[in-house]
Structure 1
């Protein structure tokens, strides 16, 4: 493995992988697997290129905030680049894109401003422009920025040609999205061999390119929603407008064919790609593969076809792609579990929980540990004796976080509590004081609430709110939620135990 000075140096160089099981046997169908980029999508290339081009031109000042409208992948790539280079990032995103994309962006330090789904992609773009003009942010302009297409001319297209090692390419298949991949790769492939067919796929229920209708724009050049657009399943594959980069590719004669793809077929092939080829990719990859297979079925034997797989399947966990993927065991898996006698949910061994300890007689309690407990309880209004990696402790912390209540957590398994084994010596003290040998144990205003279950019940019956108020801590009296939702999913009622 190579050694790098920055994660940004690992962008590109993604593999070209033959799809031997899904393709017709006499066709060489290859996938350009862009999930191998560090943030899992083709947009990593563009994110770095756009930022570095802005730096070279002096358009982006040190420390200036970057902003972009994105369905997720561009934003995630920009979040990586901005994190490494030290730029704050704001992303505008329509509210109907998958939740995991928002969480990934925020995990990487970006701020995410959601826009109404009814305003579609053109709405999130207009919001980004509005915020950039108001606050002086640098707007990436991915849909028209020449650096977007240029990076694919320099990298993606050259990688494909180098990997083919001079072998003729019958067709290259891609969605269009921002138009950067389309324009950059198609131009180089056409220059190398004008006979290479460029096939652009789009949703069959949103035929913008296929409609032949021009992209409407306002007098000020603003982007409006295309009349051919309808909501579709392929997130990020095509927004509700035809980008300037895509328009340029079409007007330059780089596109030989526009192929419609059904959403259900995109879902099916994304799953088949995983199950038959072992490649974990998203809905847009399934859609592009559907178009590539259609091309393959009508191509002469021995043809070589390359299709783009833009991103990883992890961007789609909350989408219809995973709709029928179960969390729990089905009948076949239950039968397999029951085929051997041990480690079954319907025959659990009677062993104490790992977090429990035997309750000792009061006379055996360590005086120094007693003083430690007394001092800890008196140190803050809300004190929790906890374990750093206990899921019940996490659930209790989540409840207090939901209420905006600060908790002093004494983590008995932490490095700080290992000195003199004070953590271990405190456990028997708590067992005597609370009458329970389990962790966590929570005190409010010096009084015992109990463990996680007792805390949840105190929230339900209102006594927790009263105790916090007596300590001068106010919580939202209108806050309403089921605390059981904060428990780990494996603790929820299971069909296997019925």
Structure 2
């Protein structure tokens, strides 16, 4: 294992893995697993390249805000690079892309500006341009930026060639979004051996490269309208509603030997097959690229080597149709397995624990509880990590209610077992051993579900009003939605 000065040095050098169960007999089908990049996708390569190219040219100044239009992976890669280098980042993204991409971006410190789904890729691209011009931000222009393609010529293509030193590579298969991977790898491979076939894959219902129509552009070269052959498709990150400049260059330079159309349902099927038959966790666009690679492999000579690009990880697709068949609850087979042994089941009540002998309450713990209940308008006796306690914290945060959270399992309550003694006081006074226990203006409300029921019935609001406690009256939500799904009332087995 090597040591690195920063996370950006770990980008690239991703593994090439042979498929053993999905590949046709007699052909060596290899997948380039780009999820091994630090932020999980091939876009980490271009994100670093674009930022460092802009730094060298002076186009990006220290501390300047970076902005880009992205379906997610480019933005996530840029968020990593910008976090490491100290640049603020704003991304524009169509609202139709997966929720986990938005949350990852925000977790990494980026700002996410959503654009209407009806405006498609051109909408988020034009919004990024507007914001860059208005605020003087650096626009990455991933769809036009030669640094995007150059990164793949310099790294991805060279890695593949090194892996086949002494062997002949028959074909390389890739989808396209920005066109950077397709153009850059094709340039690198063709420069080494013109016989290597470059195959581009695209949605069968949205044939932009294969359709034969030029992309409409305005005077500045930006797409002026959606491509006439574009149709919505399942492959996020593939084929936006326009042909990028980089993809156009790949075609104009004669680098593309074949274009293979791929059906959306086949992309989903093969992404799932990669997981269940090869143990490789990849996204929908990877399944789509594999569909095209399998088509190429079936037509390749015996013993041929075919390389398929797998752009990212399946974790970017949890809220998409790729996972629609994955249930949260146990299915019939899993329920039968649960019932095959007697213990730890949801359909059998556990044995009641033996009652411990009552112990005398600690006077200092009683005084501590009394002081808080009498002097704090809203106090919650809680545990630092408990789903019910966190749900209450989220509710008070939404309502903008100031409250005191007394986490009895925190380090400061360990001395003299104060936390244990406080819990004993609460158990005797409330009749419940569970956490949290909530008091409002000296009134014992109860636990999490008691508080949630009181809000549903309007009692919580009346208690707050009566005590003169400020809260946001415009918040309307079902408090039970703040609980994790596994804590929601369970369906009968």
1:461 maps to which of 457, 463, 466: 457
Distance 2:375 2:10 in 1: 48
The 3 A distance-change label for structure 1 pair 88 and 471 is farther
Query: Which deviates more from structure 2 when the two are superposed, residues 34-43 or residues 437-446?
Result: 437-446
The answer as to 2:69 corresponding to 1:73 is no
The 3 A distance-change label for structure 1 pair 472 and 165 is farther
The answer as to 2:444 corresponding to 1:448 is yes
Q: CA deviation at 1:280?
A: 0.3
Distance 2:327 2:52 in 1: 43
Q: CA deviation at 1:404?
A: 2.4
Distance 1:384 1:41 in 2: 43
Match of 2:216 in 1: 216
Match of 2:45 in 1: 45
Q: CA deviation at 1:391?
A: 1.4
SS at structure 1 position matched to 2:395: helix
Match of 1:414 in 2: 410
Structure 2 residue runs of 5 or longer lacking an equivalent are none
The answer as to 2:440 corresponding to 1:437 is no
RMSD: 1.6
Q: CA deviation at 1:176?
A: 1.2
Q: CA deviation at 1:264?
A: 0.4
Match of 1:372 in 2: 368
Q: CA deviation at 1:352?
A: 5.2
Query: For 1:244-323, what aligned pairs fall within 5 Å after superposition?
Result: 244-323=245-324
Match of 1:350 in 2: 351
Distance 1:194 1:329 in 2: 53
CA contact (8 A) 1:359 1:437 kept: no
Query: Could you give the per-residue CA deviations for residues 107-131 of structure 1, whole angstroms, max 9, x where no partner exists?
Result: 1111100000000001001001111
Q: CA deviation at 1:379?
A: 4.9
SS at structure 2 position matched to 1:211: coil
Q: CA deviation at 1:395?
A: 1.6
Distance 1:81 1:440 in 2: 41
CA contact (8 A) 1:149 1:245 kept: yes
Query: For 1:53-452, what aligned pairs fall within 5 Å after superposition?
Result: 53-223=53-223, 224-351=225-352, 360=358, 364-452=360-448
Q: CA deviation at 1:457?
A: 1.3
CA contact (8 A) 1:199 1:257 kept: yes
SS at structure 2 position matched to 1:245: helix
Instruction: With the length of structure 1 as denominator, give the TM-score of the two structures.
Output: 0.96
Distance 2:283 2:25 in 1: 24
SS at structure 1 position matched to 2:198: strand
Distance 1:410 1:78 in 2: 39
CA contact (8 A) 2:176 2:200 kept: yes
Distance 1:111 1:410 in 2: 33
Deviation above 4 Å: which 4+ runs of structure 1?
Answer: 357-361
Q: CA deviation at 1:58?
A: 1.5
Structure 1 residue runs of 5 or longer lacking an equivalent are none
Query: Could you give the per-residue CA deviations for residues 468-496 of structure 1, whole angstroms, max 9, x where no partner exists?
Result: 2334444343433222222222222334x
CA contact (8 A) 2:399 2:473 kept: no
Match of 1:15 in 2: 15
The 3 A distance-change label for structure 1 pair 124 and 154 is same
The answer as to 2:466 corresponding to 1:470 is yes
Q: CA deviation at 1:398?
A: 1.9
CA contact (8 A) 2:400 2:472 kept: no
Distance 2:342 2:383 in 1: 32
CA contact (8 A) 2:171 2:306 kept: yes
SS at structure 2 position matched to 1:25: coil
Distance 2:353 2:71 in 1: 48
Query: Which deviates more from structure 2 when the two are superposed, residues 456-465 or residues 30-39?
Result: 456-465
SS at structure 1 position matched to 2:48: helix
Instruction: With the length of structure 2 as denominator, give the TM-score of the two structures.
Output: 0.97
The 3 A distance-change label for structure 1 pair 167 and 351 is farther
Query: Which deviates more from structure 2 when the two are superposed, residues 316-325 or residues 380-389?
Result: 380-389
Q: CA deviation at 1:360?
A: 4.4
